[in-house]
Structure formats: structure tokens, C-alpha cells
Structure 1
Amino acid sequence: MTSDEPRRLTVARVLVDSPLPQLDRLFDYAVPAEHMDAATPGVRVKVPLRTAGRVVDGFIVEIAEAVAPERPLSELESVVSSVAVLPAPLYALARRAADRAAGSASDILRLVVPKRMVRAEKAWLARPAPEVPHVDAERLRTARGILADYPTLEGALAQGARLAVDAPPRPSRLGDGTDVGAWAVLLAAAATVTLAEGRSAVLVVPDYRDQEQLLAALADLAPADAVVRDDARESGPERYAAYLRILAEAPCIVVGKRSAAYAPAARTGLVALWDDGDPLLAEPLSPGVHARDAALVRQELEGHTLLFAGHTRTTDVERLVQLGWVTDVPARRRVSPKVVLSAPDDAASRARIPSSAFAAMREGLRQGPVLVQVARPGYAPVVLCAECRRPARCLHCGGPLRADAPRGVPECGWCGRRAHGWACPHCAGSTFRFASAGTERTADELGRAFAGMRVIVADGAHPRERVDDAPALVIATRGAEPIAAGGYRAVVLLDGERMLLAEDLRIGEACLRWWANAAALARPGAPVHLVGVTGPAARALATWTPAAYARAELAERAPLRMPPTVRIVRIEGTPERVQQAVQDAAAHAPLPADALLGPVALDDGRVRALLRVDYAAGADTMRSLRASVVAAAISGRRPPKGRPPVPRNTLNVRADLLDVDL
């Protein structure tokens, strides 16, 4: 090298693990000679952060040759491990998903990449690399037979398509006698066919109950060494070992909850989401990317097959179907439960269960278990003053009172205090009246109506995953219904009218999903009674036309510019910061006159505003809002020593809200 040529050096571009938005970019670090071999893309490193005066964790995203700058670069402090835990596709996905939500890529990676466990890593490295799993001909034939119920499904799986499937609403019995939902068998068959073609499958479900059903179905179809459970409930070493298996070159089937949508499996051929309307698939932590959105971004980047399956159709997926972005895959033969809309016997009747539903319960109990779905757990979730009939509130904090026993003292649902010596502030009454019935009160009432019958309560306080096929009354809250051996002989859905009264834009959609998931637990031909509900959601359940209901919902929301016809972004901060952020966003992408809702004042002096953003303008708007977040974070940094403190003008942005709530 001549003296005129610039000096070049090897540079590691590192993403530091930090919640600070201003650090959400790649930093260049010089690679010292002692780390030259170990410093490869994807490995964990420790690097000095000059502004903070400390050493932080990070990932090497890429290694490059660069011209030496005038100011010397900081060097890598150390390479934590030689295992590349951040493959390039995972970083690209995290970066794209974070940009779409005006968030940080490191926040997403923190959810996906488990903490390093040294013993688990050493044990993994000491073992030989996993072999490519083999699907025998018999299992492959069985899987293809299951997919044959959807004539175009198997061909679409090999084409990298985006698909929406209405799952069969019935239970299914596996080879070992275990009962699972037929949806689990369908997804397991799709994953097995994908694995047989030498590609990985990623199956994302809302909770552990769905995960257990899917794992049981896969045990019948897929080789055991190919199935990987991605579960935050596992111990640290177990989860880290599972992640290392996902990173291996041999394809696998990943079964996990919402963060599994990012699972970096080798040669991914299928990503499937079950029941994407379940709120558990919405990530509560920043940047709050829904598993459905992460899967859509991933499919766009990687070109694999994306499958949405459910007993109902969310408006989000139906919007994509209407746009032609997602293809609806119909079944060869339409199957639906036997749904009956049960009205009260007469207008003056106060009976909670009509005679027709009561007769169906009596008949069902002669053969096996009967499911009764109620809205809330506990004994009496709502307590009224017996004199003036106003809701009873806690005298200390103002929270609602509830009763956990028929003759017990009500307690506050917020602070937990018992209402000893309670007096109504409106009429001075001192007695209570129960205005609603939870699982325990319903079990008490039905236990008296069906004397001697076994009664099982299933809710958050009494979790139950399965019941046998002996006669029993199963009283469950929505989403907590156990699976019955052979299916329920009758299903009664109570409190539907009360569920629909919730102040939620998507409450009709949610109720239809709760009812349909419960109806799918019934034995084929068993009656399903929806009590006291009329209207579009009830008719959609009775006719089993969830896609038509979603289309009607979209048609009603479009003129009002409500999600998912537009993207909703929540902005919180000081009034000045929020106003400036909205103005900057409008300068980058023109906003309609009705785009801004609010702002409204919060308790801490900040304000909250909602911004309705068209999908076409989403990228520019989110880029502008992200710049505003960084600017607010920089302005709120600690001042140098000796200078007075300045107020922190933080700005928080949350995109793609499922509901509009100021």
C-alpha cells in the first residue's frame, strides 16, 4: 500500500441491545486482531458505548472493509460466543417490522432470541448436527388425505401463497385416543407435507392450550426429532437449546406462541397462524407488533407460504382477501355445527335458560358432558344496592364490588378490601343484590336443577384442559372451555347479550369468535344453543358464515375510517411534542382532514392523540413519527455535570391499535 492510499480496516457493524430509540442503528467498531476469527455476523459481542461510558451487549450484523476514519473507532470489547444467533433474515425481519411500527429492532430481538445459557450451548455444540428429518410414506399419505378436504390447499402450499382457511368446526380423535380440535390436525398435516419437501414450518398459536393440541396432533404425523417447542414457560436452558435447534441447517417444525412468528428456521416453507383474532397474539411490549403483521412482513421478505386458519374470519384477514392479497381456500364440503338461536319462552320470562336449551341439556347429559359458556368467573361479578339498584362501589377506592360466595361479604375488584359496614352513598341502603351470575353461581344454580349431576367449573381460577366422556355439567368462561372426550353432547352459550354490550369496536367480532370456538367443541350433530341473542353476529353463527360477517363489518367501518380499513396510531407525550409530531407527519405524507382524533389530556400533564393513517401513506408516516420519537428522546437526555436538569419530553408511539380509545 502506497502512502497516498487510504488505510483500510475491518469493521464490525453492531446493533446494541438498548431500549433507547436514538441507539436503534448500527454502530461501527474496529475488530482487534485477537477477535478477527471469532467476530462473524450474528454472534453476540460486548462493545463500549462511549457516550454512556459503559460496556453493553450487542449483535454483529455484518463485517465490512471500510476506510479508516480520522477519529479512531472504538474496538470490540469481547466476543461472547462463537454461535451466530442472529441470522441475516431474522435481522432483516426485525428491522422491517420495527420500522413499520416506529419501534426499535432490538426490542423485537429481545423477545425472539433467548438469553445465552453456557451449559446448554456447550452441550449443543458437543452433539453432532441434527440430521434431515424423514417423513415416512404412511404418515405422508395420511397428511395428504387430511389436506384433501381442501382441494387446492396442497398445491398452494408449494407456491408461496397467502391463504385463508376456515377450519373444520369439530373435535378429532388421534391414534392414541386423545381428542383435539380438527384444526390442529389440519395444521399438523400442512406442516408435515412441508417438512417432507425439505422445508421448515412455523406454527403460531395464541396460548399453551392450543400449543398442547398441536403438539399432540404432530406426534401422530411428524417425526418426533423434527418438532421444536418454542415456549417462554420452559426453563432458560431448555428454551435456548430449542432456539439452537431452530437455527440448525436441518428443517424442523416450530410450534410456539406470538414470538414464534419470527423463529429463524432453516428454509422456511410455511408460516401458519391459528385464530389470529385472539388478543393474546397482540404483543403488549414495545413496539407492539401483532403476530399477524409480523407474519405478513416475513412472507413478503422470504416468499414462503402464509396460512391463516380459524373458526371465524377476522376483519383484518378479510380485508386482505377482498384486496386479493390473501386467497380464500374453500373446503370440499361445507361443515357446520347445529346452532339454534334460543329466545326466552315469553316476553315476561326471566328464566336465564329457555326451556328448549334446558331440554337439550337434559338430553345431552344422558349421553355425556354438556358445556355451558358464561361471561365471567366468580359467583356474582356485579353487585347492586338492593334498595336503589345502583352498582355497589367500594367506599375506599370506588372500584366495583363483587361476591365470591352466596352469603359472603362482597369485596372490591380493585383494591381487594371487603365491604364490611357498607352503606350506599345514594340511598343509605346496606343490603346487596346480585345482578349477574359467574361460573360459580351458575354451577350452584344448575347443580340444584340437575340434582346429583357432576358439575365442573373451568375458568382462570380453576383451569381445566380436558374432561372425560362421563355425564357432567361443565361451566366455563369464554376461552377456558376444556376439551371433552368425544365432544360435548350439547353446548349452551349464555350471557351473549351482556358480552355484546362491551364498549369495544370489535366486540361483535370477538363474540362470534368466542361462540364459534365453543361450538366447535361439540360432537357432530350435537345441538348448540345461543341464548337470548339476535342480530348479525347471532345470524352469522347460526348460518356459520363468519367471512360474510367480516365483510359486512368492513363495509360499515370504511365510511367511518375505523380499523382495519385504516391504521390507527396512538401518540402520547407533552402537548408540544404531540403537536410537532403530527405536523411533521403531515409534511411527509398528506393526511386527510379527519385523520387526527384528539388530543385529550391525561392525568400526568401529557396528552394523547390518535392518528388515522391510510396504508399507502403508512411507511412515510411511521418514518416521520420514529424521527419525532428519537428527537424527543435526545432532547430529554441528562445534561452535563454542573448544568441544571431539563424536563424529559418523551414521546410514545404505538401503531396498529386494534380499537379506537382515547
Structure 2
Amino acid sequence: MVLDSPLPQLDHLFDYRIPPELADSATPGVRVTVPLRSAGRVARGYIVETVDEADGFEGELSPLDSVVSPVPVLTPEVWALARRAADRAAGGASDILRLAIPGRQVRVEKAWQAAQSTPVRPDPVDSPGITGYAGDLAQRIAAHERLAVDAIPAVVQVDGDSWVGAWALSLAQMAARTVAAGESAIIVVPTYRDVDQMLAALSGFLPADRITRVDASQPNAERYRGFLDCLSEIPRVIVGNRSAVYAPASRLGLIVVFDDGDPLYSEPLTPYVHARDAALIRQEQSGAALVLAGHTRSVDVQRLVDIGWVTAIGPERATSPRVLVTATADHDDQAATARIPSMAWRQAKEAIATGPVLVQVARPGYAPVTACATCSSAARCTVCAGPLGIARAGAAPSCTLCGAIAAGWACPTCEGTNLRLVTRGTGRTAEELGRAFPGVPVIIADGERQVTAVDARPALVIATRGAEPIAAGGYAAVLLLDGDRMLAAEHLRIGEDCLRWWSNAAALARRGAPVVLTGVTGDLARALATWTQQAFASAELLDRRALRFPPAVRAASVFGDATAVADAIAEVRDLPGANILGPTPAEEGVRAILRIDYAHAGNAARLLRGAVIRNATKRRKAPPGKAGYRPPPTLKVRFDDPEILS
């Protein structure tokens, strides 16, 4: 059995004896409690397998303490996935199982068990075509191939008055075909907005009892009910966010990850396994088809295409939004560099008469960043040195970190007392555009105001990146503002991220509607205007290979005190192709970075995991005056750390 414990030294299988009174219920996959030999403690875990004899052990095994539930919630496939994903990331399998298996809800479980006593024969499901793609795509999915699919940039109407991205319709048709063939499908999307679109698209092809939603935004009882439904033998479509990739599925035939470049797929909890990587491992273990879809292609997927691991598939007929780049269209330098250039104003004014206009901005709020009006030095809080911003019109400047009001602020550089706005958020943009277009409704969609859909009536929709609502029939125009500010972020992936944000917004425009990109030129603007995002990803990958940056190589951050980090790095320093950067000071101790080729990354993960276990079990002296206190281990390892690219 495997224990549910975060301690790295307990990350292995344990043998326990099954008492005769528990023999009927102690089956593989069930939750159990077992005794630990120290201090009479009891631990929770899952039975992985049952055997007649313990190999190589001649003593007496401790007995199971109890069977918590007779429901086998840990399937062999999910256990194999958790074990391999954890080993690849130098982490513990129980940490992944904690993400994969929701907490038990007794009432929900009993109701589900009662329902299982009545056999259900599912109705047959039709097998639709995949709109916009040649028949080759359906054949490849049926053959369980690995594919990188370019999504169609459009919005479509489904199930009455609902509008979704064309990508959702395509994925729903793929999933329906899979269910019709007697197999299950898992569709992983980044946000709840995307989940809602997928559910709306699937409702036109499958009955409700064949669609299961599993994501962290659900109430605990609802999430556990959905998880239990996934244990059924009836083929179904499972839709959710990053943890849905671990959902149990009967006869898995298709795994889909949409927009894999979204940072929400990066798991913030140890062992930090990216949903795309978990999907790749699960596809290899199960033999199911794998579809990595999106309007853009991440550099990680481009690497898989280049090495032949996945096959690139595009729509049958090439379609792209009508993108206008103001920096190349405006001959007046001042107009070209304005936040809303003259061409963008003209396009918005013409389009607002026929439907809603989307305006994408970089930041929420009113004025997130301010500066001294005299010398342009960044305005900082006198309490914590955080940036000063203005939350709403007429409000006093305050710190965006600690919230302190900047009463009586004076610039430490020139002693000026007046502030000017450096960045304009959704609130300030809405105020400016509201004055420019009197009588036109203004709708704000950001983290504070969650708007998922708007109708076809004229309106100005001000949205932050990723929060754009779907417009019935598509937007009459899309303005992409603050491109230069988005690109100013100090991150190696910022170009890739910006292209993804802009492409996803451009895909919401109606056919032929203008998409205006402001303040950006060069390869990024060219890739968006010509809708050749794959070429941009290929060029980015070439640069990463020259610099030995991920994903051209695998990289791992090693954190801890100087001695622990030095010991861990010594384990992997002599591996072929290993390159060590640092150590450098970090928040807690130091950090060193390991760069290594994929062929030797598995061995590096094994050695680093061993170093973590040795550090965790090492005796540490108590600080002076704290007798009996044992300092916690400090060594941590994170493979594919996104902070490496910052």
C-alpha cells in the first residue's frame, strides 16, 4: 500500500497483513488506515495490490487498522501515472494522488453505491464529423495518434442561443466520436470559462449523464460525485482543469489539452507536474489518442513536433482574422505610439454601430501604476516601497501591496507632490472610452467582474487578457491595447504569452471584423497579422536551443541551505551534459539550477530525489535554547521551474 504522507522518506510501498475480518473489503484501490510503528500513530493510505506472501520478509507484518471505504478510488492506471509523473519530477506519488483523488464525502458515496446496484444500459451515441477539418484528423484520432491541432479562430452557435469558440465545437465532436466508439475522453482546459464553453458544446452531442465535470471550483460534494461517476464502466467525457488529467476513466481513448501554454496548467504544489507532461505520460501508458490544441502553439509542443513525437494538423481551409498593426499603418509617429492610435479609433467608431467592440487591456483596476509628474520616477509606498496605484476615479493613491494610503506623498528624487498615470487599467479605460462614445454601454470584464458572455447589441467591452467574454455572433472589432506594456515583463516566455493572449482575443471576432494591434512591431506583430504562430514558436525554439534554455533542455531548481544544495548538486554534476548554474542567494538559503538533456533527465531526477530523502532523514541539531526542536529539512527540487525563465 501507499501512505498518504508528504514525507519523502515514506514515498514507497509498505506491506501490511490483511486481517480475516477485513479480507472481503480490503481490495486494491480502497482507502485504509494503518498503524505506524512509532508513538502508536495511525496513517491513511490506499491499497495498491494484494498478494499471498510478502517477498523477502520472514517476520510478522502489522495488520491493517481499518478499511475507510469499500470503494476502489485508486485505479491501477492512475497509480501508475502518479508514480511515473512523480519520479520524472523528483517528487512523491502521494502528493499527486492528493490532487487526483478528492476527499471522501460519506453521503455522496453512499448515494452513489446505492445507484450502482441498478445496472444502467447507456443509449447509443452518434458519431459526428469534425467541422472544418479533413477526414484525416478523425482517422488519426481513431488510430490513437499524438496530434498538435491548430484551432479554427471563430465563434459558433450551439444548442440554441449559446455561442462558443470554434475550438470547443471541434473538441466536442472529437470527444463524441470517441464515446460513440465505446471509449472515454478527458478534456483539460485552463479556466472555468473554457469549461463552460466545453459543456455547452458537448450538450449538443451527448446526453448529460455522459458528461462529467471535475474541477477545483466545484463544491466538495459535487466534485466527489463527479469523481465517482468517472469510476463507472460507461464511456463518458470528463471535462475539467489541470487536475482532470488524473481522473479515472474507463477504456480511455482520447486525451485533449487545450491552450497548453497557459500558466494555469503549471501545478503550484509539489511535485509541480505540468498538466501537459502528465497528459503525455498518460497517453504513453494508456495508448489513447492525444490532442494538444490551441490558437497558438507553445514552444514545448513545437519541440515535440520537431522531434516527430506529435503530428501537426491544421484546418482543412486556412482561415485567419483580419489583423491591422497600427505601428506600420500610421505614418504619424505620435499617432502610431499613442495608446489608442487614430486608426484604432476609426475602426472602433465604425464597428460600434453594428455590434459589440472588445478592448483588451493589460491590467485590471483604475491606474495600477503611477509616477511622479515632475521627474517620472516610479511612485513608491513610504511604508513598504511597493508601487502606488489609484483604485478608482477620485480615490487617493494607495499601495498595491500593503494598502497604505499615500497621504502627503512627496517624490524622494525631486520632492514633487503630483502624480501622473503610467498605466491605465480597465476602470480608467472604460472612463475614457465612455466619454468618447456617449450613449454606448460599457461592460468591464476582469478578475473582479466576471462576465462570460455578451449579446450582439452595440457595447464597449473592456477586458483583461484571458477574461474576454464571448459575444453572440462575434465582436464587430477587437482592439488590442497596451501591447508594449505586456512585452515589458521580464520573462523569457513573454513573447509567447503575448502572442497567445492576442490570438485568443482575435479568435473572438466575427468573420472579416478588424483586429487592431497597437504599439507592437517586429516578429510578434508579423506572426499575429499573418496568423503564423507556429513559425514564431519554431524560431523561439531555435533560440532556446542555442542558449540551452527550456524546453530545449530540462532544467531543475535546487533550493535549500548552502550545504544541502552543494550535496545535491554533487550527485548530478558528473552526469553527461549536466550544466550547473549558481548557487545564488534565494529567499531561504541558496538556489542552484541544473540544465541537462532529456536523455539523462530521468537519472538526474532519481539522484536528486535521493538527495532530498537523505536530507529529510538527516539528524539536525536544535538551535540554542530550543531543546527537542528539530529544524525541518530545507532541500527542495523543482523540475521545469517557470521561475528559471524569469
TM-score, structure 2 as length reference:
0.96
Map 1:135-154 to 2 at 5 A.
Answer: 135-137=124-126, 140=127, 143-144=128-129, 146-147=130-131, 149-154=133-138
Change (3 A) 1:52 1:558: farther
Equivalent residues of 1:567, 1:614 under 8 A apart: yes
- Which residue, 55, 64, 87 being the options, matches 2:51? 64
Mapped contact 1:271–1:295 kept (Cα < 8 A): yes
- Partner residue in 1 for 2:173: 189
Q: CA deviation at 1:150?
A: 3.2
Report matched runs for 1:493-504 at 5 Å: 493-504=480-491
1:482-493 → structure 2 map (5 Å cutoff): 482-493=469-480
- How has the CA–CA distance of structure 1 residues 222 and 510 changed in structure 2, closer, same or farther, with 3 Å as cutoff? same
Aligned to 1:601, the other structure's residue is in SS state: strand
1:275-334 CA distance string (max 9 Å, x none): 001111111111010000000000111110000000000000010000000001122110
Deviations 1:508-536 (A, max 9, x none): 00000000000000001101010121011
| Structure 2 residue aligned with 1:6 | none
* Rounded Cα–Cα distance in structure 1 between residues aligned with 2:221 and 2:334: 62
**1:320 correspondence with 2:320:** no
Bigger CA drift: 93-102 or 577-586? 577-586
Trace 1:361-440 onto structure 2 (pairs within 5 A): 361-440=348-427
* Number of aligned residues: 638
Task: Give distance in 1, aligned partners of 2:621 and 2:100.
Answer: 31
Q: Residues 60-139 of structure 1: matches in 2 within 5 Å?
A: 60-66=47-53, 69-128=57-116, 131=120, 133-137=122-126
Closer, same or farther in 2 for the Cα pair 1:239/1:489, shift >3 Å? same
Counterpart residue identity of residue 162, structure 2:
T
Q: Distance in 2 between matches of 1:437 and 1:617?
A: 47
| Residues 1:626 and 2:609 are matched in the alignment | yes
**CA deviation profile, 1:67-126 (whole Å, cap 9, x unmatched):** 584432211000111111101111000000000000111000101101111111111111
SS of 1:623 mapped into structure 2: helix
Cα distance between partner residues in 2 of 1:474 and 1:262: 36
Name the SS of the counterpart of 1:202 in structure 2. Answer: strand
Give the match's secondary structure for 2:103.
Answer: coil
- Tell me how far 1:52 sits from its aligned partner: 5.2
Instruction: Give the C-alpha shift of residue 650 in structure 1.
Output: 2.3
Give the whole-Å Cα distance in 2 for the aligned partners of 1:649 and 1:220.
Answer: 53
Distance 1:132 1:206, change over 3 A: farther
SS in 2 for 1:328: strand
> Structure 1 stretches of 5 or more lacking a match?
1-13
Please, which runs of 5 or more residues in structure 2 have no aligned partner? none
In structure 2, the partner of 1:305 is 289
Match of 1:346 among 312, 332, 337: 332
**1:203 aligned counterpart, secondary structure:** strand
Q: What is the root-mean-square deviation in Å for CA atoms of aligned residues?
A: 1.7
Going from structure 1 to structure 2, the CA distance change for 1:251 and 1:48 (only over 3 Å counts) comes to: same
Distance 1:157 1:133, change over 3 A: farther
**Distance of 2:334 and 2:241 partners within structure 1:** 47
Q: Within 5 Å, which residues of 2 pair with 1:510-521?
A: 510-521=497-508
State the shift of 1:136 in Å.
Answer: 4.2
Match of 1:8 in 2: none
Match of 1:225 in 2: 209
Contact in 2 for aligned 1:321/1:327 (Cα 8 Å): yes
1:257 to 230, 241, 262: 241
The aligned counterpart of 1:9 is none
Distance 2:121 2:282 in 1: 24
Alignment partners' CA distance in 1, 2:597 and 2:569? 15
Is the Cα contact below 8 Å between 1:567 and 1:657 reproduced in 2?
Answer: no
Conservation of the 8 A alpha-carbon contact between 1:505 and 1:659: no
Separation in structure 2 between the aligned mates of residue 658 and residue 601 of structure 1, nearest angstrom: 18
Q: Match for 2:606: what amino acid?
A: R
Contact in 1 for aligned 2:17/2:64 (Cα 8 Å):
yes
**Aligned-residue identity in percent:** 54
Residue 317 of structure 2 is aligned to residue 333 of structure 1:
yes
Equivalent residue, structure 1, for 2:576: 590
How far apart are 1:235 and its partner, in Å?
Answer: 2.0
| CA distance in 1: counterparts of 2:197 and 2:143, whole angstroms | 27
- Residue 590 of structure 2 aligns with which residue? 607
Alpha-carbon shift at residue 555 of structure 1 (Å): 0.7
Q: Secondary structure at the match of 1:233?
A: coil
Output the CA distance in 2 between the equivalents of 1:150 and 1:650.
Answer: 54
How far 1:638 moved relative to its partner? 8.9
In the TM superposition, what whole-angstrom CA distance separates every residue of 1:114-168 from its partner, at most 9, and x where no partner exists? 111111111111114563533444xx3xx21x34623311001111110010100
Aligned to 1:464: 451
**Is the 2:621–2:630 contact (alpha carbons within 8 Å) kept by the matching residues of 1?**
yes
Q: Does 1:239 align with 2:223?
A: yes
Cα contact 1:384–1:435 (8 A) shared by 2: yes
Aligned-residue offset at 1:537: 1.1
Structure 1 stretch 447-456 or stretch 310-319: which is displaced more? Answer: 447-456
Counterpart-to-counterpart distance in 2, 1:108 and 1:603: 26
Change (3 A) 1:553 1:130: farther
Q: CA 1:644/1:109 → structure 2, altered by over 3 Å: closer, same or farther? A: closer
User: 1:590 Cα shift?
Assistant: 2.5
Q: Distance in 2 between matches of 1:244 and 1:506?
A: 38
Once the two structures are superposed, the pairs formed by residues 443-454 of structure 1 within 5 Å of their partners are 443-454=430-441
From the superposition, tell whether residues 658 and 130 of structure 1 become closer, same or farther in structure 2 (CA, over 3 Å). Answer: farther
CA contact (8 A) 2:215 2:243 kept: no
* 8 Å Cα contact 1:458-1:480 kept in structure 2: yes
